[in-house]
Amino acid sequence: MKGNITFTMIKPTAVSKGYSAPILNMIHENGFRISAMKMLQLTENDAKEFYAVHKERPFYSDLVGFMSSGPIIAAILEKDNAVEDYRKLIGATDPAKAEEGTIRKLYAATVQENAVHGSDSDENAEAEGIFFFSMKDRF
């Protein structure tokens, strides 16, 4: 059965450019309920751990530096078929390949500074949610 939660981060450049409110509005307008949310700055170790699956990739250390460079917004989103529907809403990882009207097409700068993260599976949505939020932080 498809899960009903996904996890997202609004990344440092999108936050610093003032895109958080329009991105959160798109999330709301597209039928997602925000069940947990906070603004925080990742430490380098947090970013290394969160993106550990990419540690052999050539972009890993740049990605860790970028993701710990400034505040982010982390959130758990609820909706039927949340993972797949949110990935459609955010568009391709590389904003140059993202469809018109997607969050990344509208607000991403580059493949690294691609405005938002979205979980790629129900299992990762659970694990990523747990990374940031205890049960008492969820509503």
Residues catalogued as catalytic:
117
Q: Which of 48, 79, 104, 117 binds ligand CMP (CB under 6 A)?
A: 117
DSSP class per residue in 24-87 = HHHHHHTT-EEEEEEEE---HHHHHHHTGGGTTSTTHHHHHHHHTSS-EEEEEEE-TTHHHHHH
What is the identity of the amino acid at 133? F
Window 2-21: residues binding ligand CMP (CB under 6 A): none
Window 57-76: residues binding ligand CMP (CB under 6 A): 59, 63
Neighbours of 59 (CB within 10 A): 12
Q: How far is the CB of 114 from ligand CMP (least distance, A)?
A: 5
Q: Which of 87, 93, 109, 124 binds ligand CMP (CB under 6 A)?
A: 93
Interaction site with ligand CMP (CB under 6 A): 54, 59, 63, 93, 111-112, 114, 117
